[in-house]
Amino acid sequence: MMHLNLGAKAAGGLTILCLGSHSDDIEIGCGGTILRLADQHPGCEFHWVVFSAIGVREAEARQAARLFASSRLKGPLLKTFQDGFMPYVGGEVKAVFEKELKQLSPDLIFTHNGNDAHQDHRLISELTWNTFRDHFILEYEIPKYDGDLGQPSVFVPLEGEACQRKVRHIMEAFQSQHRKPWFQPDTFLSLMRLRGMECNASSGYAEAFYCRKLVM
Ligand SMILES: [Zn+2]
């Protein structure tokens, strides 16, 4: 399998927009890729948006963004939409895209998978495509009870150390989620191990994404 890279602009600094419905979505979905990009391209900057970061989860989202993006972090922009209700206040969510995000011109955008089983995730994905119509968008995956994992098309191999660092940051930042039986290092490592196998990663680990449009 031939590997593509991000091209010459990556060396000078990429503007990367990370969008997540809830605290912990960005980190679970593409945290390893963010760590790899930050390691490989020191000039990149990360714009970080979480649409539901309420109470303790606001502080957790802030801490996690710092852990993952460190000094390359712009923001984060944290909103307080109620978990599970975003499609029902879709106009207000869209206004955030129109008024606070549209002026950005990111080189790369991470957002939710458009076929995700969670209604909030689907809305953020749809509004990403509504707003950024001539941009490079990768849609990440989130494991969940609904069992909506599919067949992604883009794979980012990750070193084992980066995977361990991703999981360590997630467990450290999102203490309020430890009570959920699935919120364990094994869950996150298992998915990365399977995606790593599927792309024949030398380390054995990868994150995977859905890509609707790619220009070479
Ligand atoms: Zn979520």
Cβ neighbours of residue 96 closer than 8 Å, sequence gap 6 or more: 49, 51, 79
| CA 2–ligand 1 middle distance (angstroms) | 32
**Sign of the alpha-carbon dihedral angle for 37, 39, 43, 49:** positive
Q: How far is CA 10 from the centre of its chain?
A: 18
The answer to whether 156 and 32 have CB atoms below 8 angstroms apart is yes
* pTM, 2 dp: 0.97
**Rounded average pLDDT over 32-47:** 94
Q: Dihedral (C-alpha) 203, 206, 212, 213: value to the nearest 10 degrees? A: -40
| CA 58–ligand 1 middle distance (angstroms) | 14
Is the previous residue joined to 76 through a cis bond, with omega within 30 degrees of 0?
A: yes
Residue 15 has pLDDT above 90, yes or no: yes
Q: How far is CA 89 from the centre of its chain?
A: 22
| CA 134–ligand 1 middle distance (angstroms) | 25
| CA 23–ligand 1 middle distance (angstroms) | 7
DSSP 4: P
Three-state DSSP class for 124? helix
CA angle, 128 then 187 then 214, to 5° = 30
Q: How far is CA 104 from the centre of its chain?
A: 17
Q: What is the pLDDT of residue 13?
A: 86
**Rounded average pLDDT over 3-18:** 86
Distance separating alpha carbons of residues 44 and 46, to the nearest angstrom: 7
Q: What is the pLDDT of residue 199?
A: 98
